């Protein structure tokens, strides 16, 4: 029998990786740093190289029970412990548990002499002892320039750099080596990036007085990875990398409906609201009650016993609470109950990425069912349109992945079609888009509302006028005039005209009813007269008939009496003739 051989090639083993535990970094590296190999982290001063290395060690200990060694050439162990204590990293406690070894090496020419050929044998012995003493799986060397400074022999220097990297590979430890950025090269020596298996470049740039940190994976041997620049932040919780291209559109969706807080607006949707976990955008010019609509939605969420997180970029919490109270929206009770949290600040207080990380952290801590941002337009002040769109794209995807309903307001300017275009260009990203606008009439301005789109459900195509009352937002019924929909004073005039026409028609109907009733009574009177006349004639005829009958009976009876009184005579026989 002929042997059957499968044409499917066996799956090749993937490169083993060591997860860093740093938020977002494992996602763009598709699993972490190369296991048992050196990784170079390079960048200018202040970009967080040392912090990333320390967090790599701390997360390895806390999350993966992997001991680590930190060998520093610039800062002492107490200085490093004090610097990262604000991030919640207790290096002293980790050293006491024998999970971390911090070793400060002070290098100068008096300690390491260049005799014949310069080598790092002493450093290898010291580092090897530190690794073996705690069974370290992770190592951080910070920074390599301090190790090689002051030695002019570049040939020997390059040789020792190669030997250092090969020695680390031989130890089988996952290593991070930090290096300063050179002039036109990734590192000062221009060699480390070539002998490293993974190179991560950190950049700290200032654009329009806004500082932004960016991370890029320059190379990663044996593995695919994200190739774009990714913003990252240094917060009180450590480093957070915010990937863009790694977001996948595979999040679950919900069929549950959330109300907008305005009952008449809900009726304009085919399912009386919008889907939970989707994004809603309200655009309009200044003074069109965008904030009021957002507050009504937040109140409705809280009334259903769910949490809502509201970001206000234009008003303080106290001002927002006061203003909404004047239109019948009491948010203070929900704040007191812990269902509503208001975060108010000027957008310029932080960069775009800091705002995004702040929202990530608050969502993680507060666990809201809905997030309201009023307005997103103010973010333009801390970034250009492309950066704001990128940030909002990641924000919308983040909220969708977590099943959180997003409610945004945006200011638009211009007239006509320009009123339906946002500066951020996110109208195509959202699932539901509601437009509020000014409806200018003769000597007045009114507010109108329409639904431009709502993915997944039918919706009204009408432009509804609405007013803001002390009881909230009220949508008015549509009134159509000779030239189309009328609003404001024209609406009142149209309603008065319609009322007058209705009253005149009713009066005409009443008049006709009265005329009909009068004719009916006249007709009934005529019928009664005719009936009376008929009865008189009938009675007369009946009397004549009775009299005639009596006369006939009397005549018959008289004849009978006469006949009885005069009977007929008998006939006598004739005498016989004689012959």
Mean pLDDT for the stretch of residues 472-493: 65
Q: Is 288 found in the same domain as 314?
A: yes
- Model confidence at 419, in pLDDT bands (50, 70, 90)? very low
User: Please, which pLDDT band fits residue 6 given cuts at 50, 70 and 90?
Assistant: very low
Domain that holds residue 487: 477-506
Question: For residues 434 and 21, what is the distance between their CA atoms, to the nearest angstrom?
Answer: 41
Q: What is the DSSP string of 365-427?
A: HH--SEEEEE-GGGGGGGS-HHHHHHHHHHHHHHHHHTTPEEEEEEE--SSGGGGG--TT--T
- Is residue 462 assigned to a domain? yes
Q: What does the pLDDT read at residue 479?
A: 59
pLDDT of residue 220: 93
In this structure, is residue 566 part of a structural domain? no
Instruction: Give the pLDDT confidence score for residue 108 in this predicted structure.
Output: 61
Tell me what pLDDT residue 199 has: 92
Identify the top-confidence range among 209-218, 331-340, 504-513: 331-340
The last residue of one of the domains, among 475, 497, 518, is 475
Does residue 567 lie within any of the structural domains? no
pLDDT tens-digit series, residues 304-332: 999 999 999 888 999 999 999 999 999 99
Over 497-517, what HEC string results?
HHHHHHHHHHHHHHHHHHHHH
In this predicted structure, the answer to whether residue 269 has a pLDDT above a threshold of 90 is: yes
- The confidence band for 420, taking pLDDT boundaries of 50, 70 and 90, is very low
CA 435/CA 451 separation, integer angstroms: 6
The answer to whether residue 572 is domain-embedded is: no
Residues 316 and 169 reside in one and the same domain = no
Closest CA to 139 of 30, 277, 273, 41: 41
Does 364 have pLDDT greater than 50? yes
Same domain for 58 and 203? yes
Quick one: average pLDDT of 348-355?
71
Residues 6 or more apart whose CB falls under 8 angstroms from that of 39 comprise 33, 174, 175, 176, 177, 196, 197, 198, 199, 200
Residue whose tokens read 């909220």: 399
| 309 and 199 fall within a common domain | no
Query: Residue range 385-398: average pLDDT?
Result: 81
Q: Within this chain, do residues 397 and 332 fall inside the same structural domain, yes or no?
A: yes
User: Within 10 A of 348 (CB to CB), how many other CB atoms are there?
Assistant: 13
Residues 357/363, Cβ–Cβ less than 8 Å:
no
Q: Tell me the mean pLDDT in the region 70-80.
A: 89
The pLDDT, as a whole number, for residue 173 is 93
pLDDT tens string 176-187? 999 888 776 677
If asked whether residues 264 and 201 sit together in one domain, one would say no
In a domain, 523, yes or no: no
Kindly indicate the confidence band of residue 200, based on its pLDDT and cuts at 50, 70 and 90.
very high
User: Is it the case that residue 405 has pLDDT exceeding 90?
Assistant: yes
Same domain? For 344 and 224 the reply is no
Most confidently modeled range among 141-150, 440-449, 513-522: 513-522
In this structure, how many other beta carbons lie within 10 angstroms of the beta carbon of residue 375? 23
Asked if residue 3 belongs to a domain, the reply is: no
| Residue 551 placed within a domain | no
User: Would you say residue 472 has pLDDT above 70?
Assistant: yes
Residues 333 and 186 in one domain: no
CATH number, position 29: 3.40.50.300
- Would 549 be classed as within a structural domain? no
Q: How many domains does the chain have?
A: 3
Q: What is the mean pLDDT of residues 69-78?
A: 89
- Residue 399 to residue 363: CA distance in whole angstroms: 9
* Listed residues 180, 212, 241: the one ending a domain: 241
pLDDT of residue 576: 58
Which tops the pLDDT comparison, 2 or 129?
A: 129
- Average pLDDT estimate for 60-85: 91
pLDDT at residue 151 in the model: 56
**CA dihedral in degrees (333, 336, 341, 346; nearest 10)?**
90
Last residue of a domain, one of 241, 268, 297: 241
Instruction: Report which DSSP code applies to 269.
Output: B
**Between β-strands 480-481 and 257-258, what pairing exists: parallel, antiparallel or unpaired?**
unpaired
Question: How high is the mean pLDDT of the chain?
Answer: 82
Same domain, 237 and 365: no
Among residues 49, 110, 48, 104, which one has the least CA distance to residue 79?
104
Q: Are residues 199 and 322 in the same domain?
A: no
- Does the structure show a pLDDT above 80 at 242? no
209 and 76 co-located in one domain: yes
Residues 158 and 225 in one domain: yes
Q: Identify the pLDDT of residue 313.
A: 87
Looking at residue 41, its pLDDT comes to 92
């Amino acid at each position: 029998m002929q042997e059957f051989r499968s044409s499917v090639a066996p799956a090749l083993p993937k490169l083993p990786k060591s997860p860093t535990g740093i938020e977002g970094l494992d996602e763009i590296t598709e699993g972490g740093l190369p296991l048992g190999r050196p990784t170079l982290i390079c960048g200018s001063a202040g970009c967080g190289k040392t912090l990333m290395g320390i967090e790599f060690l701390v997360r390895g200990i806390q999350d993966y029970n992997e001991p680590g060694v930190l060998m520093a050439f610039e800062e002492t162990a107490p200085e490093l412990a004090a610097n990262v204590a604000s991030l919640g990293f207790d290096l002293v406690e980790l050293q006491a548990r024998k999970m971390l070894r911090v070793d400060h090496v002070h290098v100068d020419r008096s300690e390491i002499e260049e005799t014949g050929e310069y080598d790092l044998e002493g450093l290898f012995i010291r580092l090897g002892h530190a690794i073996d003493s705690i069974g370290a799986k992770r190592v951080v060397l910070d920074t390599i320039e301090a190790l090689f400074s002051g030695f002019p022999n570049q040939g020997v220097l390059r040789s020792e750099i190669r030997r250092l990297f090969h020695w680390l590979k031989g130890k089988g430890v996952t290593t991070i080596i930090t290096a300063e950025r050179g002039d036109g090269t990734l590192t000062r020596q221009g060699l480390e990036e070539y002998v490293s298996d993974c190179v991560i470049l950190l950049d700290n740039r200032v654009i329009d007085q806004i500082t932004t940190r960016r991370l890029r994976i320059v190379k990663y041997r044996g593995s695919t990875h994200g190739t774009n620049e990714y913003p990252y932040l240094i917060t009180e919780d450590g480093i957070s990398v915010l990937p863009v291209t790694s977001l996948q559109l595979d999040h679950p969706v919900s069929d549950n409906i959330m109300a907008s807080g305005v009952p008449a607006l809900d009726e304009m949707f085919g399912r009386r609201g919008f889907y939970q976990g989707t994004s809603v955008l309200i655009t309009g010019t200044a003074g069109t009650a965008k904030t009021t609509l957002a507050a009504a939605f937040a109140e409705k969420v809280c009334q259903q016993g769910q949490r809502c997180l509201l970001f206000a970029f234009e008003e303080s919490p106290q001002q927002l609470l006061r203003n909404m109270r004047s239109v019948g929206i009491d948010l203070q009770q929900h704040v007191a109950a812990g269902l509503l949290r208001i975060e108010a600040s000027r957008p310029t207080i932080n960069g775009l990425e800091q705002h995004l990380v702040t929202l990530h952290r608050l969502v993680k801590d507060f666990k809201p069912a809905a997030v309201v941002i009023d307005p997103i337009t103010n973010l333009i002040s801390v970034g250009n349109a492309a950066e704001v769109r990128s940030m909002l794209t990641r924000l919308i995807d983040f909220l969708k992945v977590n099943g959180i309903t997003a409610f945004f307001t945006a200011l638009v300017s211009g007239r006509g079609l320009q009123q339906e275009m946002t500066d951020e260009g996110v109208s195509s990203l959202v699932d539901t888009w509601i437009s509020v606008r000014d409806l200018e009439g003769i000597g007045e301005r009114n507010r109108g509302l329409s639904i431009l789109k709502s993915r997944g459900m039918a919706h009204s195509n009408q432009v509804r006028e609405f007013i803001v009352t002390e009881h909230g937002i009220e949508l008015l019924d549509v009134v159509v005039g000779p030239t189309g929909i009328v609003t404001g004073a024209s609406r009142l005039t149209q309603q008065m005209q319609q009322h007058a026409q209705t009253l005149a028609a009713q009066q005409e109907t009443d008049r006709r009813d009265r005329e009909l009733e009068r004719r009916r009574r006249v007709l009934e009177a005529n019928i009664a007269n005719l009936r009376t006349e008929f009865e008189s004639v009938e009675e007369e005829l009946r009397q004549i008939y009775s009299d005639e009958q009596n006369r006939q009976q009397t005549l018959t009876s008289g004849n009978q009496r006469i006949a009885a009184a005069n009977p007929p005579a008998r006939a006598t026989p004739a005498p016989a003739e004689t012959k």
